[in-house]
Amino acid sequence: MSRIYLDNAATTPLDPAVLEAMMPYFTTHFGNPSSIYSYGRETRMAIENARKTVAKILNAHPAEIFFTSGGTESSNTAITASVRNLGCKHIISSPIEHHATLHTVQHLHKTGEAQLSYVQLLPNGQVDIAHLEQLLAGSTEKCLVTLMHANNEIGNMIDIKAVGELCKKYNAIFHSDTVQTVGHFPFDLRNTHVHFITGAGHKFHGPKGVGILYVNENIKIEPFVHGGSQERNMRAGTENLYGIVGFAKALELATANYEQDSTYIKGLKKYMMEQLLQQIPGVAFNGDQLGNCLYAVLSVNFPKTEKSEMLLFNLDINNICASGGSACTSGADIGSYVIRAINPNSDQVTIRFSFSKHNTTAEIDQVIAKLKEII
């Protein structure tokens, strides 16, 4: 049985057209973008063209786009700068953020640099917007609100525009981890009240090790990584040239094919939900699957039995790639903090399936058959 890959929220395969766009910068166009001779000027132009492409797609200004090593660096930069440069002494976040956010806000709280509050979750795992407003209204300090656009484990999405307007009302800085949604949803940053968003190329068929940080032009922050003058003195270190070119190309392709790909992937998710309900007794789904939810992610609870406890391991043996939760903790047998936060008394076995344009209903049929056999 050939491998069936259903862990696209962890990473996606590189699109051949993206690799093709990157190849010259691995080989002939290898100049350092900081060099003043023609080789350097060529690669500098490639980076600035990539920046313009990304900015146009997100409806931002090119000066607001900074290239980084990925989502983790981008979120660390935004959150730390909000506290140290923008005067935010009270951080409001949620207990189901990605660890890139959770560990950063916890560190700043531990060092005494900021208060930390967590917004409550509704029974379906969505952020309680009424409680968020209570926290903002009751704060005596300037606030940073850091809430992810779409949760990487259960797929729940916030209304980014509504949260932005709330932050505007209370003069709060707003950072949103958009790693799961850049490349999967259209953005209009000029008409969204958000100060920072993040992206990672490998989530939408681009390369690993490259991301973006959007910094709204109305705020000024200090560098998080110190050294050279790259990225307009904002992010030191020789640029990941081929990664940046690949990021822009992947985002371009994802945007051009958004309607077709998103409709197709939604269909795969719906089909798998229907087949699971029909063929495997006792399954349930985490998150707001019928509401505001990421179309590529399906978090499934299976009844806990002697057989289902080893479900992820048995799927792997059968060449089926899925996740027990966030990819960043899937190797550690500690369970999912996200599932614990929304369903603390659950004794079920949770598997996250996440889809891409390369998956098929035939693959889903094979996975369902294998699940029935294992369970």
Delimit the domains of the chain by residue range. 4-12+257-374, 16-256
Q: Tokens 């949604």 sit at which residue? A: 181
What are the CA-CA distances from residue 88 to residues 45, 78, 165, 365 (Å)?
36, 12, 18, 50
List the catalytic residue out of 143, 167, 293, 328.
328
Q: What is the CATH number of domain 16-256?
A: 3.40.640.10
Cα dihedral 84, 86, 90, 96, rounded to 10, equals -80
Task: State the burial class of residue 330 (Cβ atoms within 10 Å of its Cβ: 0-12, 13-18, 19+).
Answer: middle
In the predicted model, what is the mean pLDDT of residues 234-252?
97
Query: Which has the minimum average pLDDT: 31-45, 172-186, 313-327?
Result: 313-327
What's CA 128's distance to the chain center, in Å? 20
Is residue 293 over pLDDT 60? Answer: yes
Asked if residues 77 and 68 have their Cβ atoms less than 8 Å apart, the reply is yes
Q: CA 350 to CA 335: how far, in whole Å? A: 9
CA distances from 110 to 107, 204, 295 (A): 5, 35, 36
- What's the whole-number mean pLDDT along residues 140-155? 97
Cα-flanking dihedrals φ and ψ of residue 305, to 5°? -135, 175
Contact (CB, 8 A) for 54 and 247: yes
Residues 6+ apart with CB under 8 A from 203: 9, 11, 12, 179, 180, 182, 183, 184
Q: Is the pLDDT of residue 103 over 80?
A: yes
Mean pLDDT, rounded, of the chain: 94
pLDDT(295) > 60: yes
299-318 pLDDT, tens digit each: 999 988 887 778 999 999 99
pLDDT score recorded for residue 315: 95
- CATH for the stretch 4-12+257-374: 3.90.1150.10
Among candidate residues 117, 104, 110, the one with its CA nearest the CA of residue 224: 104
CA–CA separation, 184 and 202 (whole Å):
12
Alpha carbon 180 to chain centroid distance?
Answer: 3
328 is catalytic: yes
**Paired strand residues for 353:** 298
Predicted pLDDT at 116: 98
Over range 228-243, report the average pLDDT: 96
User: Which phi and psi angles does 174 have, rounded to 5°?
Assistant: -120, 120
- Quote the CA–CA distance of 361 and 53 in Å, as a whole number: 34
Q: Is the dihedral of CA 243, 190, 77, 97 positive or negative?
A: negative
* CA pair distance 201, 6, nearest whole angstrom: 18
Residue 238, sorted as left (phi over 0), alpha (psi -120 to 50) or beta, turns out to be beta
pLDDT at 326 over 50: no
Which residue shows structure tokens 């089909």? 271
Counting other chains too, the contacts that 228-232 makes at CB distance below 8 Å and 24 or more residues apart are 228/34, 229/34, 230/33, 230/34, 231/66, 231/67, 232/63, 232/66
CA-based nearest residue to 163, from 120, 197, 192: 192
Q: Which whole number is the average pLDDT over 19-40? A: 95
How far is residue 80 from each of residues 87, 114, 175, 184, 219, measured CA to CA in Å?
10, 10, 11, 27, 14
Residue where the block lists tokens 């009302």: 169
pTM, whole model, 2 decimals?
Answer: 0.95
CA Rg value for the chain: 21
Sheet (strand 297-302) strand order: 284-285, 297-302, 349-354
